[in-house]
Amino acid sequence: MYPYQNASLAIPERVSDLLSRMTLREKMVQLFHHWKSTETHATLEKYMEDGVGTVYSSWVDVEAIQKYCLEETRLGIPANVVQETLHGGCAGGTIFPMPIAMAATWNLDLMHDVYTHIAKEARMRGINGTMSPNLDVHTDPRFGRVDESYGEDPFLSSRFGEVSVRAYQGEGELIDQEHIAATAKHFAAYGQAENGQDGGKADLSEQSLREIYLPPFEAAVKAGLKSVMAAHNEINGVPCHGNAWLLRDLLREEWGFEGMVISDAGDVNQLCAFGVARDFYDAGLQALKAGIDQEMYVAGFEHLEDAVNNGDLEESILDEAVCRVLTHKMECGLFEHPLPQMRPEEELDSAHGRELAYEVAVQSMVLLKNENQFLPLEAGSLKKVALIGPNIDHEVNQRGVYTRPGAHVVTPLEGLRNRLPGEVELLHCRGCNIMDEDTEGLAEAVAMAKEADVVILVLGDSIESCRECYGSKSGDRTELTLAGGQSRLLKEVCAVNPNTLLTLINGRPQAIVEEQEQVAAALLAWRCGEEGGHALADLLLGKRNFTGRLTMTTPRHVGQLPMYYYRKQRSFKGRRYSFESHLPLYPFGYGLSYTEFRWSDLKVSPKQVQPGQQVQVSLNVENIGSRSGVEIVQIYARDPLASVTRPERQLVGFARVPLEAGEACRVQIPIDGKLFGYYDARVRFVIDEGEIHLIAARDAGDEGLQVTVNVGAVEAIREAVASEGVTEALIPD
């Protein structure tokens, strides 16, 4: 046994020993992430004669890969095996709602259970790493990948990012056999997409970068994150894959990240397309020196051996990257457990997984409108229900991206069939398409609507119109209206039956200004995963109550974009558009319930604090309705006087409050005093002396209840810094 094979030794010692035994080429191939199909032995020999860094599990026989690495390569270094598992979906595994829906639950405990389940299933298929969570903060819903994120808010995205990392990886420093290494993506500012287009440039101040787009990644690093994926885009003229300030100075030196940095697919060679690299040889050198440790779609890094031999690259720089890759593999236990304990797909997607998927779907759906308490439906009074729309039975649109077939998907059609009483006749038809204007089914839909007691329209977007862009495919849009023949279908159905409910199965906010006025009720079901049909049926029939809240602002029109709730305080606050409202259609945090809540007696303790000191916000919440429900209490902060302009309000805390009808409780929410700080004109983090207004509100547009906390003068508290645990960095100059 060589030292690197001895699990009792410290990982740095093992890595140092292994590195000393490796040839230059054996080092180089550890920086390769192969995306190609490697099913056959001949292909294995062609691409992996000296080993491999990472393989993508969807296209490979994982067991064959690991056996080849162990038995056919000189040093027997196992492969890192990854999948997306963004919301489950490894082959045969449980398919949860998309992350934008997960965030709409505002339920961190539930998400911990979800990601723990995803990790366990991934290990059952030989996967030891995931290319998630997606921590992009999105401010433009035209971008087709908004459904992969947790929405527009840095604080909420940070909290979900922390939970996902800890649940994926477990609580120890090493990854055990029921957990997987997390990869936060896309680093950084990928969500600040110019024109709403995938990979658009991010021209923004360092102040905005640090306050909006970086916090979720920093939170993930502090949670023990093992891997980071660089973003497709550029920031202020520098592509992320060649950005040494971003990947070395900030990520490693400032934040202390010690894990692995990987490229996104093909993005090293895209340095040539950006016009900053001469050729793939040059691109590989730039990316490695900037801080990329492993290249997906190998193009630039295959020249690194030549670069060292030519004197263009110091081998020590390559060694740094190799050490991080080897460390990653050892932390995942691959040297001790190289052969996966593969379980058949039939053993995945357990009853527990389906229960979790159902619960996430129920808690994520958002009730947008409920005129005259149209919902819940009284099943006993119904004779005919018409289920109409292109998404009534579309499994792919419902389950979303990065999923593999295997798990059974319960669509709205199946869900209502299973939940409606047998004496209720369920009529159904598509009515129209999403990707074209075909109206062949319109007449059938209108005729069906005429004879029904209630119409449930299931519209939204398709997997083609809201997705990642690659090749000739694009999920970005110039409009947020209902595509295809959907608006016409809704108009004609509502004309013959006013008892119409609109359900949206989609991945982004949609501007349904006219549509929501025509229907009796409207709700957002998102891409709701494998149990979405049952969740929808139970909510419509009142077996469950709506608790979901929006995590992206819904604009009325694309002309309002970018539109996010934390807009800066400014002069001329009364500015309006000539022909459109300046207000959103639905604000961040918005969502209705079947019951009503009353809030009172908002307090903060202590009222006088030192910079960075935690405070406790408390208030009374009472369910004054006739049904049990869950209130989402949102706490926003506002700094009325600062050295630079500050947001009108910014989320700093929240709580889910379940209450039975007539029940009341006192809610306490801790607020981190560091959230009162900001980056000043010289990009220094400061916490000012003075007032901070704390607002308890139901959503970002709600006036809510307000209380004031006073941050003490710096001079008066400097001597107390050490005893209170407040760092000098939090004290303004």
Per-position DSSP letters for 9-54, written without gaps between them: S-HHHHHHHHHHH--HHHHHHTTEEE-S---SHHHHHHHHTT--SE
Q: Classify domain 597-730 by CATH number.
A: 2.60.40.10
Question: Which residues of the chain have a pLDDT value below 50?
Answer: 715-733
Per residue in 281-323, pLDDT tens? 999 999 999 999 999 999 999 999 999 999 999 999 999 999 9
Instruction: Say what the pLDDT of residue 39 is.
Output: 60
What amino acid is encoded at 592 in this protein?
L
Instruction: Detail the DSSP E strand segments found in 513-596.
Output: 521-524
Three-state SS for 71-94 is: HHCCCCCCCEEEECCECECCCCCC
How many CA atoms are closer than 13 Å to the CA of 3, on its beta-carbon side? 13
- Kindly state the helix (H) or strand (E) to which residue 206 belongs, with its residue range: helix 206-208
Give the pLDDT of residue 729: 45
Distance CA 595, CA 623 (A): 7
Distance CA 673, CA 692 (A): 10
Over the stretch 408-443, which tens digit does the pLDDT of each residue have?
999 999 999 999 999 999 999 999 999 999 888 999
CA angle 340, 344, 348 (to 5 degrees): 100
Active-site residues, by number, are 264
In the structure encoding, which two tokens stand for residue 623, read together? 């369910």
Kindly list the domain boundaries of the chain, sorted by start residue.
24-70+230-253+261-315, 362-560, 597-730
Question: 28 to each of 373, 385, 505, 630, how far by Cα in Å?
Answer: 64, 62, 45, 54
Residue 483: exposure state from Cβ atoms within 10 A (0-12, 13-18, ≥19): buried
- What gap in Å lies between CA 685 and CA 271, rounded to an integer? 32
CB 649 within 8 A of CB 566: yes
Asked if the bond preceding 133 is cis, omega within 30° of 0, the reply is: yes
The tokens of 585 are what?
A: 């259609």
* 8-state DSSP, 457: E
Characterise 659 by phi-psi region: left (phi > 0), alpha (psi -120 to 50), beta (else).
beta
Question: Can 362-560 and 597-730 be said to share one CATH topology?
Answer: no
3-state secondary structure of 182: coil
Q: Can you give the pLDDT at residue 38?
A: 61
Is CATH 3.40.50.720 the classification given to domain 362-560?
A: no
Residue 726: per-residue pLDDT: 45
User: CB of 180 within 8 A of CB of 121?
Assistant: no
Alpha-carbon span 508 to 461, nearest angstrom: 8
d(CA 394, CA 120): 28
- Other CB atoms within 10 A of residue 252 CB: 16
Count other Cβ atoms within 10 Å, centred on residue 408: 12
CA distance 720 to 733: 16
